[in-house]
Amino acid sequence: MTPNNPPELTVIVPTLNEAGNIALVVSALDEALSGIAWEVVFVDDDSKDATRAEIAALAAQDSRVRMIHRIGRRGLASACIEGALSGFAPYIAVTDADLQHDVSKLRDMLASVKAGNIDLAVGSRYVDGGNADSFSRYRSFVSEFAAHLARIVLKTKLSDPMSGFFLISRAAFEPAVRHVSAIGFKILLDVIASSPTPLRIREFGYQFRDRLFGESKLDSAVVTEYLALLADKASRGLVSLRFIMFMLVGASGLLVHLAALFTAEYALGLVFESSQIFATLLAMIYNYSLNNRFTYRDQRLRGAAWLRGLVSFMVVCGLGGVANVGIATRIFSQYDGGWWLSAMAGALVGLGWNYVATSLFTWKRKR
């Protein structure tokens, strides 16, 4: 790539502790894209190993290598968006840093999109020429079930809507990116469901490889995020993905509250008032911990910030509890709405307050 030969393709590679893979990724791209003007943008979520040092060393020798260093933000979807919007190439590809995707397919994928017959080329493990033999039996089941769920909810015919390996024209990407949820790992599904017009898609089979270095970034939070993403897109964005996750955590917190109340009153023999205080505090800590890990994982608080966040969360939710009781009591006494309707109205007001207030004060974005 030279000043007179700007990149035609920007390859986005999210990274988190991938020091052993960086040089291998660049080498694989160099071989796969020979004769094509390309650049690679590593989007690093504040790795604790030598990832950024490895990228910097390569960038000093190769102008096609760039990096975005993110602090206080995490998530593959948002990393891909930031990386894509940092460049001007007319075509954008997304691949991983662990070399499980076969980047040699990018040449054919680019040619197909450039021909104008499709907007999006997707690397698939489930069409001719593809497989995921390296998956364990459990991961194969989860992947296939998640793909089946996506096809039902979002009515897509993709064999592999869970794929993290794809290439898209910037002309198709930019209208869709304005509507994406940008939370979690499944950016492809997010882009497809967010496009204002149906995308023309073709799948390319590839062999999913074993990881060479580093560890998988997938954890239990991904399942929650994925289900919330489907709900968000199925409702056409009427309910935000983050709010759905906040509600799910709150629902599980109610079960924790009831279990703690029962234990304190009947197993420990505490009076009701003491049992209620104990159960409430435990449920608040539980809700805060899960929201910090799942709902706001891209803004996760750690160390001293975690403790400050807990205090903020408890204060905010305490005020929400006051609003809950006040609204429920007013409806019950003045409008004869029945105890269940009054309680539900109070709970909804409290939930709305807790969500908005904790977004503003507990997990406020760094600027």
Give residue 213's identity as a one-letter amino acid code. F
pLDDT level of residue 367 (50, 70, 90 thresholds) = very low
Give residue 21's pLDDT band: very low, low, confident or very high (50, 70, 90): very high
Please check the confidence at residue 365 and state whether its pLDDT lies above 70.
Answer: no
More confident residue, 300 or 151: 300
- Average predicted confidence (pLDDT) for the chain: 82
Q: Count the neighbouring beta carbons within 10 Å of the beta carbon of residue 209.
A: 15
List the one residue out of 150, 192, 151 whose CA is nearest residue 172: 192
Average pLDDT on 134-141 reads 64
pTM of the full structure: 0.69
pLDDT, tens digit (0-9, with 9 covering 90-100), for 252-271: 888 887 888 788 877 777 77
Please give the C-alpha separations between residue 23 and each of 54, 82, 198, 209, 288, in angstroms, as whole numbers. 7, 22, 37, 18, 40
What does the domain layout of the chain look like in residue ranges?
Answer: 9-219, 241-361
Report the first-to-last Cα separation within the chain, whole angstroms. Answer: 33
CATH class of 9-219: alpha beta
Please report, for residues 13, 280, 332, the alpha-carbon distance to residue 274 in angstroms, rounded to integers and kept in the order given. 52, 10, 26
Question: Which residue has 């207030």 as its token pair?
Answer: 357
Tens digits of residue pLDDT in 220-256? 556 666 766 776 666 666 667 778 788 888 888 888 8
Going by pLDDT thresholds of 50, 70 and 90, the confidence category of residue 307 is: very high
